[in-house]
Amino acid sequence: MAGDQLFIGLDSGTQGTKAIVLSRQKGRILAQANAPHGMIENERGGREQHPHWWTDACKLALEKVLGNRSVDRKLVKAISVSGQQHGMVPLDADGVVIRPAKLWCDTETKSQCRTLTERVGGDQAVRSAIGNDVAAGFTASKLLWLKENEPQNYDRLATVLLPHDYINFWLTGERRTECGDASGTAYFDVENRCWSKILLDAIDASGKLETCLPELIDAHNPCGILKPEIARQFDLPKKTIVAAGGGDNMIAAIGTGNIKPGVITVSLGTSGTIYAYSDKPIVDSKGELAAFCSSSGGWLPLVCTMNVTVTTELLRSLFKLDLKKFTSLVATAPPGAEGLLLLPYFNGERTPALPDAKATLHGMTPMNLSAQNLCRAGMEGATLGLRYGLDIIERNGISLKELRLIGGGSNNPIWRQMVADIFEKPVVLPKDAEAGALGAGLQAMWCYCNQTEGKTDLEDLCASFVLLDDTRRTEPAKATASLYRDIYSQYLELERCMRPLNQV
């Protein structure tokens, strides 16, 4: 390797875009930056964003990192994009966005989920066809919603892209996707790695949608080359490769070294996710496990909950607390919050599949109703919900020894200890907190090496760049873990009792 080679990772999430520049020679991140996104919400569960917000944020974040003194733009070899999953970006024949993108957290399309499931023949028929359920938030129901509610916009539809695909389209002009992100659409067959005609016909029997889909490419292949005008705008080399990219969870898996069996990643972000690598597809008979492909060539069985930092941020806002004061209040409350128990279904819930659910606070007395207990119950409720995801993971034969914790919540030592105690597993953090952006940078490097140096092992790249922070390793405390075992049983019983109301 003559001289250094630089790789850009872009992570376009719900709340903002992060960018890093990764040095192959120095083995570290040289620069990082971020830019925020807005959100369009309605009381029907609608959650939308304008796609140009993402590209505007990408521009801002790119200018920041490329303007860093330690970054030589001429050494950039490839870019990769991580994007929030499931969003629907509708383009017309000229490649113009037709309407705002409906996002992963949009539950306005829950009736369309039921309609599609019925058209295919029920839950088991859907799982047989694609390996997944038509979950609220997945892309398929958004397309049917568009067809039913905005027929004029549906008639204009010429291409449907996922958020990371759209950013790739902006960068390259190519309309392509890869199997990891595609498997979260609910019209992709994860076992056979192809679009599902059965589900596409259930949305629109005319066959139109088959002509609107992007080309499928392998995760190690490029999406294309940077468009000349983009290269000029950022003063980047004309032949800069844009890698396949992927969904945020798939790319964060790369950024945590979760590309071989035995590693489990847990993300405490806006939503919560728990996932593991598999070298074969794993389809859950109950449909609670998302049977995704990975963005590293395998599969990524995953469980997602809708309300993690959503919960803690709502409580911070309610009590007008900064992060430090919120954490201090949580610390003053004992484990179990003196009997307060919160089902944190503020945005409905995906696991269990309760898109109409509302949050429930149980166990209030005159003695325990305090700000500190409410804050503690919120953090615990979000974590207990993810603990249910571990049950699903283990039920499907996936074993684990430790958790690799990422997301904003992972920076909180109290939350780390809570995760270790509730999951009854050791918790370890990667040294680089930006797993999505780092994973994108590594996928860009993998793609470039495969194109220019021959077949390259992604595992070797991860071994060099994904380092664990042993100073923040957290072991479960036996006494507290035992207490949380009982509280988790109460949590499951409360959820069972509330389910009839939450299914209305």
* Residues annotated as part of the active site: 248
Degrees to nearest 5, angle at CA 54 with 52 and 60? 100
Q: How far apart are CA 188 and CA 196, in angstroms?
A: 5
CB 265 within 8 A of CB 258: yes
HEC letters along 163-219: HHHHHHHHHHCCCEEEHHHHCCCCCEECCCCEECHHHHHHHCCCCHHHHCCCEEECC
Distance of CA 318 to the CA centre of its chain: 26
The residues near 58 (Cβ < 8 Å, ≥ 6 apart) are: 10, 12, 17, 19, 35, 167, 170
The residues near 44 (Cβ < 8 Å, ≥ 6 apart) are: 108
**Measuring CA to CA, how many Å separate 165 from each of 65, 159, 362, 442?**
22, 11, 42, 18
Which residues is 229 bridged to in the sheet?
Answer: none
Kindly write down the DSSP assignment for every residue of 340-399, as one continuous string: -EEE--BTBBTTTTBTT---EEE---TTT--HHHHHHHHHHHHHHHHHHHHHHHHHTT--
Q: Is 46 helix (H, G, I), strand (E, B) or coil?
A: coil
The residues near 198 (Cβ < 8 Å, ≥ 6 apart) are: 120, 129, 130
CB 263 within 8 A of CB 452: no
HEC letters along 394-437: HHCCCCCCCEEEECHHHHCHHHHHHHHHHHCCCEEEECCCCHHH
Burial class (CB in 10 A: 0-12, 13-18, 19+), 397: exposed
Degrees to nearest 5, angle at CA 171 with 249 and 99? 75
DSSP state of 278: B
